[in-house]
Structure 1
């Protein structure tokens, strides 16, 4: 159960797996996520669903190795089974035919979760303008899929190695300056600081924007409270009230501070696992 059907390495730290999970695939909708556990002693990893196929029974996940648990996941191979794979969780994106243009923005690993949103918006007849970006060309993912899911696709890289040099917010601002009234809604998914800056640009143009909050999460059912965020001055739980919220209402400063509270422990866990892997390799 929960077999890794296919695995791809997209860069030194970014991977994609296709997981056999027919019940999750049948129910999955854009904006929702899963929680997986690699082994009985592993921790829970929340990941937004990048794609799914109900007929074939698979769910695609995309992840970046940033800690011990994602490193463990990256070391698993095709044919191996995950210990647990639960979902779909969270509230689906509020998608409809808005009768005009929509703006989709994905940054870094956030390109993966924004893809099903763009795809569904286009299927419903919206004119989809997508902007994807990363630090450098090698970190741009899912370009072909995003091109299919969009009427227009624009690319930015911080270092200028691909597309326009600069940030996704530069392109976003240019578009809104030219056709703000034509843009009916906006979605942005990526690092918290990117979503914060996209929200700032949206506010400058008096536009609403959706963001997907990747706050610290444990059980994914609203019981633990670890994923709490402040939205509109009220406490919300990203797992059951989100993960998508109106960015104009999110307290990003508080969220970013909470995201950093376990950085030291995460670095220590990663170092211990890397040392264990090195010892095993040296012992044959």
Structure 2
């Protein structure tokens, strides 16, 4: 059993948990994920590691409440336990000691982005970040990023924090101003990552993306996260989740993600999900 040491509601749809998981905390790296079950009969949920503390033996996860399993997880409180918390899984992010890197986090994509940016900061890399969300309430980890980044830019759909618009609007402005980055790391919804690559690819700017949105079982056995990268078939969970965004077939990813949209919607309605 894995004890929940801290639980925090970040906004109406997103929560943070700090879990005592010694073996995971001992060896996890930025970019990796865990699989948990909220109870003994629950489904397996892959969640990216948002933070970790080796001395305290803790792992931090951030999740969006979107259906039955995440609602079940949300019902747990500090002091409760999680029966299964397996990891670390996936390949660690390939972080280089560049001169300057730009991170782009859309919504809960800021959670897996944070450990990568923190690691780059520890390596002495200058880092800027763009964070986006529907409104200021949906911007997460802003204080944490501000503590380690040279500059943090914001974009919200309604203009309540930073620029009114999308993260790609801010990206375009920075590049048009002459800002130069050795690499861009973009994590968020597939449509956001595709739009970022649409800007960076013509400029041949190295761009890493995380395909955790299409992961299901996390072991490569279900085949649900097959993706074409550079003309080759990869599995997001075992070959990634990080990939060269300039080589990812995003149209295929988006078709795969939407394949069971109606069934998932019906299932969530029937189980009281959103």
User: Structure 2 length normalisation: TM-score?
Assistant: 0.96
User: Counterparts in 2 of 1:153-172, with a 5 A limit?
Assistant: 153-172=152-171
Structure 1 residue 257, shift from structure 2 partner: 1.1
2: distance between equivalents of 1:225 and 1:247? 20
Structure 1 residue 272, shift from structure 2 partner: 2.7
Which of 223, 227, 230 does residue 229 from structure 1 map onto? 227
Corresponding pairs, count: 273
User: Counterparts in 2 of 1:34-113, with a 5 A limit?
Assistant: 34-98=34-98, 100-113=99-112
Query: What residue is the counterpart of 2:246 in the other structure?
Result: 248
Deviations 1:121-149 (A, max 9, x none): 11111110111110111101111111112
The alignment partner of 1:179 has SS state of: coil
Which of 183, 186, 199 does residue 184 from structure 2 map onto? 186
The alignment partner of 2:212 has SS state of: coil
Structure 1 residue 215, shift from structure 2 partner: 4.3
Structure 1 residue 267, shift from structure 2 partner: 2.2
The alignment partner of 1:23 has SS state of: helix
Query: What residue is the counterpart of 1:204 in the other structure?
Result: 202
Query: What residue is the counterpart of 1:6 in the other structure?
Result: 6
The alignment partner of 2:253 has SS state of: helix
The alignment partner of 1:49 has SS state of: strand
2: distance between equivalents of 1:262 and 1:83? 28
Q: Does 1:136 align with 2:153?
A: no
Deviations 1:49-95 (A, max 9, x none): 10000100110001111121111111111111112111111111111
8 Å contact kept, 2:214–2:253? no
8 Å contact kept, 2:146–2:152? yes
8 Å contact kept, 2:45–2:217? no
RMSD over equivalenced CA pairs, Å: 1.4
Deviations 1:206-263 (A, max 9, x none): 2120000024434322233221111111110111110000111111111111111222
Structure 1 residue 41, shift from structure 2 partner: 1.5
Alignment gaps of 5+ in structure 1? 276-284
1: distance between equivalents of 2:171 and 2:215? 30
The alignment partner of 1:144 has SS state of: helix
Query: What residue is the counterpart of 2:218 in the other structure?
Result: 220
1: distance between equivalents of 2:33 and 2:23? 14
Structure 1 residue 174, shift from structure 2 partner: 1.6
Structure 1 runs of 4+ with >6 Å offset: none
1: distance between equivalents of 2:95 and 2:172? 23
Deviations 1:254-281 (A, max 9, x none): 1111111222232233223229xxxxxx
8 Å contact kept, 1:215–1:238? no
The alignment partner of 2:128 has SS state of: strand
8 Å contact kept, 1:31–1:243? yes
Which of 193, 196, 199 does residue 195 from structure 1 map onto? 193
Query: What residue is the counterpart of 1:281 in the other structure?
Result: none
